[in-house]
Chains A and B, each alone.
Chain A
Amino acid sequence: MSNLVLMVGVFVFSFVVGYFLISRVPTLLHTPLMSMTNAISAVTILGVLILFSVPSTRFEQMIGSVALIMVTFNLVGGFTITDRMLRMFKKKQEGNNP
């Protein structure tokens, strides 16, 4: 039960914080921000790691490893793509302002 209360509390808190944070992000950064939140949403990886923290059957290990590969792909790929997008912008900016 305490988890439900915590979750609702955290949810409301992050909504308020998120609103103030994101309403200040300029429209031009919406796409990279979306890509970064996509990468952050791979926090599921914490859950998948915890899945491996108790003795498990072969079947569970199989499903777990598929999940782990998928979520690592999301996590690492997400941050790499965001980095690429932001880097591209920076180069242009420097190029234009010598």
Chain B
Amino acid sequence: MTLVLDFCLIGVLIVGIWLFHRPAEAKYGNLTAAAALACAMGLVIYRYGIMHPFVVVICLLVGGVIGIWVARKITMIQIPAMVAFQNGAGGIAAFFLSFVELMRGAGQMGAINEMSGLVNLAVGSLTFSGSMVAAGKLAGVLKQTPTILTNHTRLVQANLGIVILLMLIAFFLPGTAAVVFYLIIFALSIGFGILFSMRVGGADMPVLISFLNATTGLAAALCGMIIENQLLIACGATVAASGSILTHMMCRAMNRSLYHVFIPEKAPEKPVSTMDELPENNLFSTGGQMTEPEQTIHEEMS
């Protein structure tokens, strides 16, 4: 019975995404998905109960009010940066969740649960830092051109290798001694996210955000693995799947390969470096590139 309800909710979510195949219906798709998630929240509260209702209600109100307020207040140009920022907020929440669960269940967790928790520490925090770099670039706080360090690829690989090694050590370490490793994994993954997204820039930013979106979905699915909640696993997997397919589609629409977006062979020369010479008011030019397709849409529709 519980599974039937869960799959009904997933079905509603899929209907929401399906409605996106026609512009006129997309709005209802968005509302459908929102309703599905609201029902899922209600279902979880009904099933598990809440121990600290006061704290939960306050947090929901604070987060919700800030969310609506900021989303209403920002200008059109700032939207891409805001999406990236929100994605980062979701990522850090996934990190906190797995951190608490790992501390709570120290020594008495199932092997799969613990492993997903450890992986999620890394995925959550790299999503956070990667999204923050992306948001900074889109908002014009950071330089928008790709920054490539010497031996960049090797640095990324080494970072990833050390994180995986630390995960294995923390996995076999008994009890609460692993907390130090959790924090080191966190710090290194933050570094990984920064290294990863700093060398993407310009028109490739939407692809980066879509990719980070897929990793947040993965983080949600892993959260589901830790606490053994099928609904969370399924929703997370749906987002991860649609996020990665969307990443692929965006690359194809721009005629770029995913590999070249994330691993540029060399520092781009003339065409991109002229971006630096543009006057101040062009800081948001990347944001403009994201909104540009929408303008062509209106023309198509009219």
Contact = CB atoms under 8 A, between A and B. Distances in A.
B154 interface: no
B227 A74 contact: no
Interface stretch (B85-93, B184-192, B260-268): B85-93
Interface in B224-267: 224-243, 245-246, 249-250, 253
B249 to A, nearest CB: 6
Given A43-B235, A89-B294, A34 B52 contact: no
A18 to B, nearest CB: 4
A83 B28 CA distance: 9
B68 interface: yes
Given A50-B227, A54-B51, A77-B71, A39 B33 contact: yes
B179 to A, nearest CB: 12
A54 to B, nearest CB: 6
B50 interface: yes
Nearest to A30: B250
A28 to B, nearest CB: 4
Contacts of A78: 67, 71, 83, 86
Contacts of B301: 89, 92-93, 96-97
A31 B293 contact: yes
- Interface size range of chain A in the complex: 35 or more
B249 A30 contact: yes
B232 A41 contact: no
Contacts of B66: 69, 73, 77
Interface of B (DSSP majority class): helix
Given A22-B245, A49-B41, A61-B55, A81 B233 contact: no
A66 to B, nearest CB: 6
B62 interface: yes
Interface in A33-56: 33-56
Nearest to A33: B20
Contacts of B86: 38-39, 42, 73-74, 77-78, 81
Interface of A (DSSP majority class): helix
Contacts of B213: 34, 37-38, 41
Nearest to A93: B301
Contacts of A75: 37, 63, 67
Contact of A90 (B27, B50, B52, B225): B27
A70 B49 contact: no
Contacts of B221: 7, 11
Contacts of A3: 112, 225, 228, 230, 233
B241 A18 contact: yes
Contacts of A79: 30, 33-34
Interface string B1-33: 000000000000110111011011011011101
Contacts of A47: 94, 97, 220, 223-224, 226-227, 229, 232
Interface stretch (B99-107, B141-149, B272-280): B99-107
Interface of B: 13-14, 16-18, 20-21, 23-24, 26-27, 29-31, 33-34, 37, 40-41, 44-45, 48-52, 55-56, 58-60, 62-64, 66-68, 70-72, 76, 79-80, 82-83, 86-87, 89-90, 92-94, 96-97, 99-101, 103-104, 112, 206, 209-210, 213, 216-217, 219-221, 223-243, 245-246, 249-250, 253, 290-291, 293-294, 296-298, 300-302
> Which 8 pairs between the two chains have the least Cβ-Cβ distance?
A72-B63, A77-B67, A76-B67, A96-B302, A80-B71, A67-B96, A53-B48, A71-B93
